[in-house]
């Protein structure tokens, strides 16, 4: 093959940047949505309502047993069917990611909520707080600090997972690189460049997680 041609990457930068924007946006929505949903699931699972807790466990174990690609296919197929009209791939994918991440974040949050010492729960209940007040005012602030590094690590995994929207041809960073690679017939340049960008961003994320966790250790 001919030598490494960097100009094809420079020419495609605006297109690739748009793709990266979608990847990061998808990560942000899935992370925020997944955290909110995950929190609800974690609270339900730790609550006294046995039937609800069981349903929440079923939800989490169900989503954790299947591949994300299958979940994406499921929602790509289901969402238009349920709404009765065609919607773009983006909405199906957003819903799929939030539901999927909710299951994973709920496990992190559940472990965090459980790691807060029982005395904290008992003291909060004894001072007359309700279950939800105990979670919100006493347990959650402590749990979130403990869980911050894990959440960032999960965020890095999630960012990598957004590349899977390739299977429904949504133009994220991975898919954009693939489009240029094939239309310009510059496969080596584009995939190596994409790998470098993913590597740099994920390494930065991992370093942040590392720092958060060593900050915590020093504070104790």
Partner 1 sequence: MNYAWNWGVLFQSPYLEWLGQGIAMTLAVSIAAWTIALGLGTLIGIFHSGASGAMRFVTGSYINLFRNVPLLLQMFLWFFVVPELLPKAAGTWLKRGLPYPEIVTAIVALGLFTASRVAVQVAAGIAAVPRGQSMAARASGLSTAQAYRLVLLPQAFRIVVPPLTSEFLTIFKNSSIALTIGVYELTAQTQQIQSFTYQGFEAFTAATVVYMAIALAVTTLMTVIERRVSIPGPAARG
Residues that bind partner 1 (CB under 8 A): 1, 62, 64-70, 73-74, 77-78, 81-82, 84, 156, 160-161, 163-164, 166-167, 174, 178, 181, 187-188, 191-192, 194-195, 198-199, 202-203, 206
Toward partner 1, which CB reaches closer, 49 or 77? 77
CB of 134 to partner 1, least distance (A): 30
Toward partner 1, which CB reaches closer, 52 or 157? 157
User: What distance in Å separates the CA atoms of residue 220 and residue 216, rounded to the nearest whole number?
Assistant: 7
Which residues, 6 or more positions from 210, have their beta carbon under 8 angstroms from its beta carbon?
Answer: 149
Toward partner 1, which CB reaches closer, 61 or 115? 61
User: What distance in Å separates the CA atoms of residue 75 and residue 81, rounded to the nearest whole number?
Assistant: 9
Toward partner 1, which CB reaches closer, 47 or 206? 206
Residue 148 tokens, joined: 């911050």
Helices (H) and strands (E) in the chain, counts: 9, 0
CB of 74 to partner 1, least distance (A): 5
CA neighbor of 93 nearest in space, from 77, 109, 111, 115: 77
Toward partner 1, which CB reaches closer, 34 or 138? 34
CA neighbor of 113 nearest in space, from 180, 178, 42, 176: 42
CB of 130 to partner 1, least distance (A): 35
CB of 159 to partner 1, least distance (A): 8
User: What distance in Å separates the CA atoms of residue 21 and residue 172, rounded to the nearest whole number?
Assistant: 8
Please spell the DSSP secondary structure of 24-79, one letter per residue: HHHHHHHHHHHHHHHHHHHHHHHSS-HHHHHHHHHHHHHHHHS-HHHHHHHHHHHH
CB of 195 to partner 1, least distance (A): 5
């Amino acid at each position: 093959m001919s030598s490494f041609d960097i100009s094809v990457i420079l020419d495609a930068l605006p297109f690739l940047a748009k793709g990266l924007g979608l990847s990061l946006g998808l990560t942000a929505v899935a992370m925020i949505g997944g955290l909110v949903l995950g929190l609800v699931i974690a609270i339900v699972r730790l609550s006294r309502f046995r039937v609800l807790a069981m349903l929440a466990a079923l939800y989490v174990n169900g989503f954790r047993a299947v591949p994300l690609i299958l979940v994406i296919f499921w929602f790509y197929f289901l969402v238009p069917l349920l709404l009765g009209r065609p919607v773009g791939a983006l909405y199906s994918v957003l819903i799929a990611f939030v539901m999927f991440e909710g299951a994973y974040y709920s496990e992190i949050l559940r472990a965090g909520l459980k790691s807060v010492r029982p005395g904290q729960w008992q003291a909060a209940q004894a001072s007359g707080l309700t279950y939800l007040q105990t979670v919100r005012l006493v347990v959650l602030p402590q749990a979130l600090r403990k869980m911050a590094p894990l959440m960032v690590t999960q965020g890095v995994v999630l960012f990598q997972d957004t590349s899977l929207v390739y299977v429904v041809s949504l133009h994220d960073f991975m898919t954009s690189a693939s489009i240029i690679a094939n239309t310009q017939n510059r496969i080596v340049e584009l995939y190596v460049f994409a790998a470098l960008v993913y590597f740099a961003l994920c390494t930065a994320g991992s370093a942040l997680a590392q720092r958060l966790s060593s900050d915590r250790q020093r504070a104790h």
